[in-house]
Structure 1
Amino acid sequence: MIALVLLLATALPATGDERCVGEIPCPLGERSYHVKEPDGWDGVTPLPVLMHFHGWQRQGTLIVKHGRISGATRRAGVLLLAPNGRGRTWTFRDAGSEDIAFGRAVLADAAKRYPIDRDRIYVSGYSYGSAMAWRFACAAGADVTALLAISGTLRQNEECPAPVDVRHVHGLSDTVMDFPMGPGGDELFPVALWRRVNGCAGAPVGPRHWAVTQHDAFRRFVWSDCASGKPVRLDLHDRGHFIPRGWIAQQLEELLAQGSLFLPQSRIA
């Protein structure tokens, strides 16, 4: 559905009164979203998209100014879309959530304003927004290139109709969106849903250690031998509930380099 809408949409930047960027919201019915363009964009080249769902009691105005989110997209040449949740939150628990249709509408409206690269539509979120990103990817997986999820999941017994390239990061000491430890202390349980949906039956490769700073260090597990052909990646750290420095930037770097399975050698500790 999204692919068809994007194909038919007029891929031209908005002008005049329709122009909205940064903290100026793009109206969409009774709701709105925010846009941040990448640095140095020529106004013509089709843009990869990261649609990021904000955390609880936040709004898109924060996302388009957030160094770890918009800072990453600006430098990577990615168009950032930041929907505004109704009541500053998301209805991610319901498989029939109105926010699924809203997310689709945001993508379709953005495609009327910008030339969108339909093969590079990434969906992200943090905390409640991460759970919403899971919900959106679960409902619209056929039109989502990759899920970048930070510190928030759905129940692992949810049913999702289409596989997705998944990248999830979670802190073992998270007590806000508690780390979803599996039976017997299984630390790989946070992505059990996507391993099942993608048909990843084997053991993962890992852990591979990598770090952005001394405090932002991760252990990566990768399931690449999946029936769907779409891998699942899980990055774990020992800290709590936050957006890790450099994590989104690293995922975009890998995705834009044709989805390499592992990290550049310079990042492997």
Structure 2
Amino acid sequence: MRALLLCAALLATGCGSSRTASERSAATTSTPGPSTHSVAVDGTTREYRLYRPAGLSRRAPLIVVYHGWPQTAEDAERGGGWTQAADRHGFVVAFPEGVEQSFNAGGCCGGAQSEGVDDVAAAHAIITDVSRRVGVDRRRIYATGFSNGAMMAYRLGCESDRFAAIGPVAGTQMVDCPDRRRVSVIHIHGTEDGIVPPDGDADLPPIRRVISQWRSSLRCAPASVTTSGDLRRSRSRCPGGLDVDLFTLRGLDHEWATRSQGLDTTETLWAFFARHRR
């Protein structure tokens, strides 16, 4: 049921879109524009889409963007405005393809979870492959995602040392995280999210508890809170230049908010990422 609602909520991005044969065959290109590539992970082949803007610097930031369940990498590429943002700001974007349209985030969702897929290893393989094709600044690598993809971003924040910051959107943390990495966090969520309720449920941890745990582990200062219309920003600075921010948008359901809804999610994430390095 949650999967059906997710597709309905994000119909504009197109659930289960197909790729062109020319994109699929672009296995070694590093020229500007979109392309599709694959990496070997634990004896399996994992695909990802790559977008490289023209005029890219030799050491560009990399953002890894995870789609929701049951979506595809192309849905994430088309639905969030990431390629346009990459053109404006000069960063590279990788869009991993989930197993059975899902990622193993540690408690949700779909085939990747049930099959025990190692999506952390897949993330590392994708980063290595992108770095071989494009000049990536290893101090400026970031992860974000929507819903199940947001859960995957949290898992990477807990279990990987490759990321300077993560930006979960409309998801929650599904893994234990006793030793949080030195990574900054920005979380964006709608107050009316019926798929991943901000207050949690029997299966999903509440967002404020997750954020509180990050702030406690990173020894952050008390949060400063500001509101502007329907947008509430809770920001906390932490030692070592880290930050843990929570943005909530009143009235927003299970969606990737746009400027017309009171928050440009993609631009907000980039502005946060741009301030942080590993």
Q: Same fold (TM over 0.5)?
A: yes
- Is 1:35–2:47 an aligned residue pair? no
Size of the aligned set, in residue pairs, is 230
Q: TM-score, normalised by structure 1?
A: 0.76
Cα deviation, residue 66, structure 1: 2.7
- Is 1:248–2:258 an aligned residue pair? no
* Contact 2:186–2:272 under 8 Å retained in 1: no
Q: What residue in structure 1 maps to residue 212 of structure 2?
A: 192
Task: In structure 2, give the amino acid aligned to 1:144.
Answer: F
Task: In structure 2, give the amino acid aligned to 1:108.
Answer: T
Alignment partner for residue 157 of structure 2, among 134, 137, 150? 137
Cα deviation, residue 65, structure 1: 2.3
Structure 1 residues 145-184: aligned runs within 5 Å: 145-155=164-174, 158-180=177-199
Q: What residue in structure 1 maps to residue 145 of structure 2?
A: 125
Alignment partner for residue 25 of structure 1, among 27, 33, 36? 36
For residues 123 and 36 of structure 1, the distance between their equivalents in structure 2, rounded to whole angstroms, comes to 15
Gaps of 5+ in 2: 1-25, 108-112, 259-263
Cα deviation, residue 49, structure 1: 0.6
SS at match of 1:88: coil
Distance 1:181 1:25, change over 3 A: same
* Contact 2:104–2:118 under 8 Å retained in 1: yes
For residues 229 and 175 of structure 1, the distance between their equivalents in structure 2, rounded to whole angstroms, comes to 34
For residues 102 and 155 of structure 1, the distance between their equivalents in structure 2, rounded to whole angstroms, comes to 18
Distance 1:194 1:161, change over 3 A: closer
Distance 1:33 1:234, change over 3 A: same
Q: What residue in structure 2 maps to residue 78 of structure 1?
A: 91
Alignment partner for residue 233 of structure 1, among 221, 245, 266? 245
Distance 1:34 1:156, change over 3 A: closer
Distance 1:90 1:50, change over 3 A: same
Distance 1:161 1:221, change over 3 A: closer
Q: TM-score, normalised by structure 2?
A: 0.74
Gaps of 5+ in 1: 1-15, 211-216, 260-269
Q: What residue in structure 2 maps to residue 110 of structure 1?
A: 130
For residues 67 and 191 of structure 1, the distance between their equivalents in structure 2, rounded to whole angstroms, comes to 24
SS at match of 2:256: coil
Q: Which deviates the most, 158-167 or 89-98?
A: 89-98
Q: What residue in structure 2 maps to residue 62 of structure 1?
A: 75
Q: Which deviates the most, 55-64 or 120-129?
A: 55-64
For residues 209 and 228 of structure 2, the distance between their equivalents in structure 1, rounded to whole angstroms, comes to 19
Q: What residue in structure 2 maps to residue 203 of structure 1?
A: 222
* Contact 1:53–1:82 under 8 Å retained in 2: yes
Query: Taking every aligned residue pair, what percent have the same amino acid on both sides?
Result: 22
Task: In structure 2, give the amino acid aligned to 1:28.
Answer: V
Distance 1:197 1:166, change over 3 A: same
For residues 141 and 253 of structure 2, the distance between their equivalents in structure 1, rounded to whole angstroms, comes to 28
Distance 1:155 1:207, change over 3 A: farther
Cα deviation, residue 25, structure 1: 1.6
Q: What residue in structure 2 maps to residue 51 of structure 1?
A: 64
SS at match of 1:136: helix
